[in-house]
Amino acid sequence: MSEPCCQITDEKYLKLDEVINQYKGKAGGLIPVLHQAQLIFGYLPKDVQIRVAEGLGIPLSEVYSVITFYSLFSLQPRGKHTIGVCLGTACYVKGAAEILQALEENLGVKVGESTEDGLFSLMQTRCIGACGLAPVLTIGEDVYGRLTPEMLPDILKRYEQ
Amino acid sequence: MEMFRSHVLICGGAGCLSTGCKAVLAQFLAELKAHSLEEEVKVVETGCIGTCDLGPVIVVYPEGVFYQKVKVDDVKEIVEEHLLKGRYVTRLLYERPVSGEQIPHYGDIDFFRRQKRIALRNVGLIDPESIEEYIAQDGYFALGKILTEYTPEQVIEELKASGLRGRGGAGFPTGLKWEFTRNAPGNPKYVVCNADEGDPGAFMDRSVLEGDPHSVIEAMAIAAYAIGAKQGYVYVRAEYPLAVERLSHAMDQARQYGMLGENILNTGFSFDLEIRVGAGAFVCGEETALIASIEGKRGEPNPKPPFPATSGLWGKPTLINNVETYANIPAIFQRGAEWFAQIGTEKSKGTKVFALAGKVRNTGLVEVPMGTTLREIIFDLGGGIPEGKKFKAAQTGGPSGGCLTEKDLDLPIDFESLKAAGSMMGSGGLIVMDEDNCMVDVARFFLEFTQDESCGKCTPCRVGTKRMLEILTRITKGEGREEDLGLLEELAENIQATALCGLGQSAPNPVLSTIKNFRDEYIAHIRDKECPAKVCRALMKYTITSELCKGCGLCARYCPEKAITGEPKKPYTIDQSLCIKCGNCLDKCPFNAIELK
């Protein structure tokens, strides 16, 4: 991975330490710290987990157990753009499964995987609350609605610099 | 104070954001400037107006003219025609389905006219980033009145008298919950807002947080005063970043205006809020799991009792209500419990917000009095089923609920009636399905969801839902067995009776309800290996209608399995034993000669 999002530098650890200090001694701080850590590093590798565990004074096993419980925390580096196909009910009854299948074919990856060039990660998401536009997908913070499989290549093109 | 002769409200809800309302807003600002109208006309980005499939939508006041599907290129005309000359831009007005009659005014459109907005009273009407606009709508008036005139006991009595019940799903009387928490021994006490709206297909809580965040803050401060708490938490799911942003902005403003923090409104009462963002676990909508998650742990539920009212966050008495419940509370105290109690049915007071989605013409959020029938919601407000299709079922209560059918259309909807009909209110998701939806597939979809979201703590849910999913999957693959229905029902009853939390206990509901209402469809899958709705691919058969086939050979060329053979200019045939049902032939045939059965 050569994406800037996922390079681990000392500067990132300094940032992480700042976050840890902010939540140190505060009850229930682990999940907010993990959110911030994932923003900083792009994912949560073992070294980051160790730093969080030591910083907050929580056993590493507990940190790992919390990370693996919640689906938004990732132990693997993600692509530059994360595509989330909504599989909420409204999207499902309007054909989200076909959208997902078409994306898998287009990108040549399965759900949960990243493309070889590190550009896209394909995820399925829970209802994002845009049911009126079903079926929808998100790329980063952009939302695309009323999709048909034919629209996908054009949408993907916008992110392939 | 600045005065404007006109206001242009631009919907900034999720639907309109994805259809480009930000660009429309920017264009308005530019056009107003170009016509030197920026001091006469104010542009406001509001929360969700509700008609998600007509976006971007705008409403121009004082006339209240509703424009739909507004594009950047339309803005100049609206400014020059409507705002300068006072003439409506008729091509952008809403048209009534079927008759095509144009309806210029927001309040005359069926979708809005038939609603009664209490929880959503400000959503789509005010700028959610402005506390002044909230206050101008009598916001924080109820909090002020309560802190200066009411004892905590009086607050609880009034809330009990209103008859408000929890909008998160179970419908527990809210006043009683407040009383239990107030009377529970232990200190400090906490107030929590459950904004982990996980039900796929429900987005009213998101809409309130994005469109009227102060109503939740005000209600939580009232709740804190009533139960004797100083600290509150709002647990929002991570999928709603805009809600988090708007809420946190609103909290900052509330602190500046002395509505949050120390010594609120100079009354000596102190209360503050913190936001906790979820991390993608559906089970965290269950209150004991939500508490575990705020504490920084895995979001696993705990057995009840003890209920959070006696032992919640960090073992202390904790009041948990959901967003829509809170959003009702300032209105109840502004207008009185009696006013609220006269709306709705005997046992379910007030209104309910439904998220209308699926196969329905007007998708979006609607708030209607309890007791409104399903027919009114789907056909009058929702405009019916598009493309001339037939209504088949409506799923309420999400993955914990069940489906309602044709026979239930005239049922007045409230907590009790839905339960009696084999479904539940849940958080108010209402997914409409037409003849093209396969109910076995829908049941499998819900079970796949709950099975994936099962936290794994208790066996009935972890293993039981997995076994049920396996059975349903084999039925949709044409490998169903005669005994499968009985097996599903038996497993369902056991899981309902023995699972630890609401997620597991209610997970079998969609299966039971579809078996009850659509038994024939299950039997068609199991016995006849047929999917009547033509959804389950494995059960479908592609055939070539020889009268229509011109023998062009296109289908054979695109068939990846070489299952199609024939001679040029003569009808081709498909070898069913080789066909993998990819559908390529159907897509490619220029003569509609391929039939799917």
Q: How confident is the model at residue A1 (pLDDT cuts 50, 70, 90)?
A: very low
Reported ipTM? 0.86
Q: Mean pLDDT of all residues in chain A?
A: 89
Judged against a pLDDT cut of 70, whether residue B1 lies above it is answered with no
Q: Which of B516, B515, B507, B513 is closest to B480 using CA atoms? A: B515
DSSP state string for B242-270: HHHHHHHHHHHHHHHTTSSEEEETTTTEE
Nearest to A71 among B200, B281, B296 (CB): B281
The pLDDT of residue A3: 46
- Region class of A28: left (phi > 0), else alpha (psi between -120 and 50), else beta: left
Q: Which CATH architecture has domain B6-113?
A: 3-Layer(aba) Sandwich (3.40)
pLDDT, residue B165, reads 98
Residue A134 confidence (pLDDT) above 90 = no
Chosen for mutation from A52, A86, A126 (greatest number of chain B CBs closer than 10 Å) is A126
Could you tell me which residues of chain A have a Cβ less than 8 Å from any Cβ in chain B?
A: 27-32, 34-35, 65-66, 69-73, 87-90, 92-94, 125-134, 136, 141-146
CA distances to B338, B345, B405 from B176, rounded to whole Å, are 17, 19, 34
The pLDDT value recorded for residue A4 is 45
* Domain locations along chain B: 6-113, 132-340, 351-434, 439-526, 541-596
- Residue A132 pLDDT exceeds 80: no
CATH of the domain spanning B439-526, picked from 1.20.1440.230, 3.30.9.10, 1.10.730.10, 2.60.120.380? 1.20.1440.230
Q: B351 Cβ partners below 8 Å, 6+ apart?
A: B116, B117, B118, B119, B328, B343, B344, B367, B368, B369, B370
Evaluate if residue A152 carries a pLDDT over 90.
yes
pLDDT at B577 (0 to 100): 87
Amino acid sitting at position B294:
I
Which ranges in chain A belong to alpha helices (H)?
10-23, 30-41, 46-56, 60-69, 89-93, 96-107, 152-157
Q: Chain A contact for B355, CB < 8 A?
A: yes
Length of chain A: 161
Under the banding of pLDDT at 50, 70 and 90, the label for residue A6 is: low
Distance CA B404, CA A43 (A): 43
Query: How would residue B541 be classed by pLDDT, with cut points 50, 70 and 90?
Result: confident
Higher pLDDT: B53 or B145? It is B145
Q: Which pLDDT band holds residue A2 (cuts at 50, 70, 90)?
A: very low
Residue A104 pLDDT class (50, 70, 90 cuts): very high
Q: Residue B441: closest CA among chain A residues belongs to which residue? A: A93
pLDDT at B301: 95
Domain B351-434 falls under CATH 3.30.413.10: no
Most confident of A84-93, B168-177, B537-546: B168-177
B455-502 pLDDT, tens digit each: 999 999 999 999 999 999 999 999 999 999 999 999 999 999 999 999
B6-113 and B541-596 have identical folds: no
From the list A70, A132, A142, which residue is nearest B363 (CB)? A132
What is the overall mean pLDDT for chain B? Answer: 94
The C-alpha angle B293, B453, B305, rounded to 5 degrees, equals 55
pLDDT tens per residue across span B221-277: 999 999 999 999 999 999 888 899 999 999 999 999 999 999 999 999 999 999 999
Report the DSSP pairing between strands B189-195 and A142-144: unpaired
Q: Which residue among A35, A126, A133 sits closest to B18, beta carbon to beta carbon? A: A133
Is A133's CB within 8 Å of B53's CB? yes
Sorted by where each begins, the domain ranges of chain A are 4-69, 81-157
Our CA-based measurement puts residue B308 at a distance from the nearest CA of chain A, in whole angstroms, of 17
Residues B200, B398 contacting (CB under 8 angstroms):
yes
DSSP B11-56: E-SHHHHHTTHHHHHHHHHHHHHHTT-TTTEEEEEES--SBGGG-S
Q: Which chain A residues are within 8 Å of B292, Cβ to Cβ?
A: none
Predicted confidence (pLDDT) at residue B513 exceeds the cutoff of 60:
yes
For residue A139, what is the nearest residue in chain B, using CA coordinates?
B18
Q: Which CATH class is domain B132-340?
A: alpha beta
From the list B202, B206, B279, the residue facing A70 with the nearest CB is: B279
* Amino acid letter, B153: E
- Contacts of residue B116, Cβ cutoff 8 Å, sequence gap at least 6: B343, B351, B367, B368, B369
B541-596: CATH topology is Alpha-Beta Plaits (3.30.70)
Name the residue of chain A whose CA is nearest to B283's CA: A70
Report yes or no: B295 at the A interface, CB cutoff 8 Å: yes
- Domain A81-157 belongs to what topology? Glutaredoxin (3.40.30)
Over the range B152-162, which residues count as b (16 or more CB within 10 Å of their CB) and which as e? Answer: beebbebbbbb
Q: What is the per-residue pLDDT for B215?
A: 98
Q: What is the mean pLDDT of residues B123-152?
A: 96
- The answer on pLDDT for A90 being more than 90 is no
What does the pLDDT average to over B435-449? 93
User: Which residues on A lie below 8 Å from B300 (Cβ)?
Assistant: 69
- Which 3-state string (H, E, C) describes B358-391? ECCCCCEEEEEECCCEHHHHHHHHCCCCHHHCCE
* Burial zone of B266 (CB within 10 Å; 0-12 exposed, 13-18 middle, 19+ buried): exposed
Average pLDDT over residues B79-97: 93
Inter-chain residue contact B299 with A69, CB threshold 8 Å: yes
* Higher local confidence (pLDDT), B583 or B203: B203
Please state, in angstroms and rounded to a whole number, the distance separating the CA atoms of residues B450 and A128: 17
